[in-house]
Amino acid sequence: MALKSYACCKCSVESASVTYSKSVQTVGRLLTTDSRFPKELSKTIQHYPGVNTLMGVKTAGLPTDLYIFAKETLQAAGLPYAAANCLHAVQDGWFGFARIQISCNK
């Protein structure tokens, strides 16, 4: 899937085709997305910054940066943003990680 850039360094899908023609705006391609959390032992490894209690309890096993992003986005939208709600939103595919291959050649 080819990605193109637009204002404010954001990316959007340029082509869903595997064999795509590059344009001036092509910045790379989306390799994988991942919203399968928690992963092995992540409930005991990840923790919310500044909390010195049992690790992983505050983030429901999500990586801290993903948890904070999901929490703040849900909160801004007026939706429930407890750790369990963040985990369900990630598992439902609302949030996750993307691996993008940046293409420097034209």
Domain boundaries, the chain: 2-102
Provide φ and ψ at 61, rounded to 5°: 90, 5
Q: What is the mean pLDDT of the chain?
A: 79
Mean of pLDDT values over 57-67: 82
* Strand 26-34 with 2-6, pairing: antiparallel
Structure tokens given for 104: 């420097």
pTM of the model: 0.67
Amino acid at 92: D
pLDDT digits (tens, 9 = 90+) for 67-102: 999 999 999 999 999 999 999 999 999 999 988 888
In the chain, the largest separation of any two C-alpha atoms, in whole Å, equals: 52
Q: Give dist(CA 74, CA 89) in Å, integer.
A: 9
